[in-house]
Amino acid sequence: MGPMSGHYFDRDPSADDRRREVRVQVLGRDLSFTTSTGVFSAEHLDHATRLLLESCDVPAGPVTLLDLGCGWGPVAVMLALQNPDATVWAVDVNERALELTRTNAARHGVTVHVALPHDVPADLAFDEIWSNPPVRIGKQALHELLLTWLPRLGPTGLARMVVGKNLGADSLQRWLGEQGWPTRRAASAKGFRVLEAARGPAS
């Protein structure tokens, strides 16, 4: 990805693979995860992801859920723990992130389908997409990413995204509505918004 060499957006990060253990206390659970250099928020569960997990209810029943931009897997693992009947997919372009997500799902005894974007079956529809999207890839790339995955939602599907207010959450909310994805603010705290996008009449 050009100038961001060594950044966590890289498919194969060049940073040394220095593993560490991170303790996460969220939703009444006390869990340990393996993280590493070269992935997003390797030192702790970031505030945005915590807000996403704590402000949104995981749907019950045999639903299909996607963690888009899974990093080391906290969202995917928590979705699977909160709803053992769900089919959970975790997608990232970073190979190290995918390896860590596999490791963390296994250590917590849950099944998560971990994949590069192009390895997700083309006909698979999702009931919900959960994401702390990579806003820093730039507006155009972010828009392309969302317009690739939002149409994969089922007719009554929802996308739950956490975005920093100073990183354009409010303009993203407006843009999603203009694209046919009516979006409401589901939660707000510590400078972050949780946006909830649904399929509009025209989308």
Q: What is the pLDDT of residue 3?
A: 33
Cα gap 173→182, rounded to integer Å: 8
**pLDDT tens-digit profile of 182-202?**
999 999 998 999 999 999 875
Q: What is the pLDDT of residue 202?
A: 59
pTM: 0.89
49-56 average pLDDT score: 95
Give the pLDDT of residue 5: 32
Nearest to residue 95, comparing CAs of 41, 24, 39? 39
Euclidean distance between CA atoms 95 and 112, whole angstroms: 15
Please tell me the distance from the alpha carbon of residue 176 to that of residue 174, in angstroms, as a whole number. 6
**pLDDT by residue (tens digit) across 101-148?**
999 999 999 999 999 999 999 999 999 999 999 888 888 999 999 999
Task: Judge contact between 39 and 11, C-beta under 8 A.
Answer: no
Indicate if the pLDDT at residue 4 is higher than 50: no
Residue located via tokens 């994949």:
115
List the domains of the chain with CATH numbers: 46-198 (3.40.50.150)
Mean pLDDT over the full length of the chain: 90
Percent of the chain with pLDDT over 90: 76
Confidence of residue 11 (pLDDT cuts 50, 70, 90): low
Give how far the C-alpha of residue 85 lies from the chain's centroid of Cα atoms, to the nearest Å: 19
* β-strand pairing of 183-189 with 112-115: unpaired
Taking only the tens place, the pLDDT of each residue in 71-86 is: 999 999 999 999 999 9
Of 125, 106, 1, 136, whose CA–CA distance to 63 is shortest? 125
Q: How many residues does the chain have?
A: 203
- For residues 159-184, average pLDDT: 95
User: What is the band of 1 on the pLDDT scale with cuts at 50, 70, 90?
Assistant: very low
